[in-house]
Structure formats: structure tokens, C-alpha cells
Amino acid sequence: MQEVLIGGWQPGKGRRADTIGALLLGIPGPRGLDYVGKVGTGFNREILEDLLPRLRTLERETSPFAEDPPARETKDAHWVTPELVGEVAFTEWTRDGRLRHPTWRGLRLDTSPAEVVRES
């Protein structure tokens, strides 16, 4: 498991066209918020209906990440101030510092953004 900060989201497609397709995730690092990938699985309708209004109140014009994430991974992104902490399950870290096969486990309302650290 890994705690992450939500730095943005992408609109869904198909039956999720009216909500979130994927969350863009980060972990604080020495230069700011490091992009660690996106997660698009592990959501049900109830979770999405709870998350979307929370994210809309945090929207901003620019990316919160220290370095711009790859454009192919952030098409149509809605950037947010990284105040929401979530938790993902994943298989391993990739060589370039991304989460491999992340699955959303939920918001961590008991954890502050300052407490989020990269797990090994």
C-alpha cells in the first residue's frame, strides 16, 4: 500500500463519461510533488460521486507537480491543489519511479498531506 496525494484527474469515457476516469498521483519529494502515475481502477459509483465535488473545489490552472508529467498521461487533465490523501495498492515501483498496476483503495481522511512519504 502507498499513500498518495491527488494532483489532478482526467475525465472518464464511456459509462464514466460524466465523472472521473483516472486520478493523477504524487508523493512529496525534495523538489516538490513528484508525479508517480495515475490510477483508474478500484472505483465504484459511490466513490466517484464523493470524490468529484471534493476535487472540483480544489481545481487550479497549473500542474502541482515539480516536473510536468508526460503529456500522454495527462491529456485533458484537471489540476487540483494536492490536499486530498488517498491510498493505492500496487505491485511494484517501476525504474522511472511510477506505481505499477495501482488500484484505488480510498481516501485517507485521517492523514495530512505532510505525512505522505514514499514506501519502499
Residue 56 belongs to a domain: no
Residue 36 belongs to a domain: no
Cα separation, 111 vs 71, whole angstroms: 30
Q: Which residues contact 102 (CB under 8 A, 6 or more apart)?
A: 2, 25, 37, 38, 39, 41, 88, 89, 90
Average pLDDT over the chain reads 94
Which amino acid is located at 4 in the chain? Answer: V
pLDDT tens profile 2-42: 999 999 999 988 887 788 999 999 999 999 999 999 999 99
Helix (H, G, I), strand (E, B) or coil at 29: strand
Residues in the chain: 120
Residue 71 belongs to a domain: yes
CB 27 within 8 A of CB 117: yes
Q: Is the pLDDT of residue 87 over 80?
A: yes
Residue 77 belongs to a domain: yes
Residue 103 belongs to a domain: yes
Q: For residue 65, what pLDDT is reported? A: 97
Residue 68 belongs to a domain: yes
Average confidence (pLDDT) over 32-61: 95
Cα separation, 116 vs 61, whole angstroms: 24
What CATH number is attached to the domain comprising 12? 2.40.50.140
- Short-list 83, 101, 96, 78, CA closest to 24: 78
Strands (E) located in 2-77: 2-11, 20-29, 32-39, 59-60
Q: For residue 75, what pLDDT is reported? A: 85
Identify the band that residue 59 occupies on the pLDDT scale cut at 50, 70 and 90: very high
Helix (H, G, I), strand (E, B) or coil at 57: helix
Task: Report if pTM > 0.85.
Answer: yes
Residue 41 belongs to a domain: no
Residue 73 belongs to a domain: yes
Domain containing residue 95: 1-18+63-108
Instruction: Please count the structural domains in the chain.
Output: 1
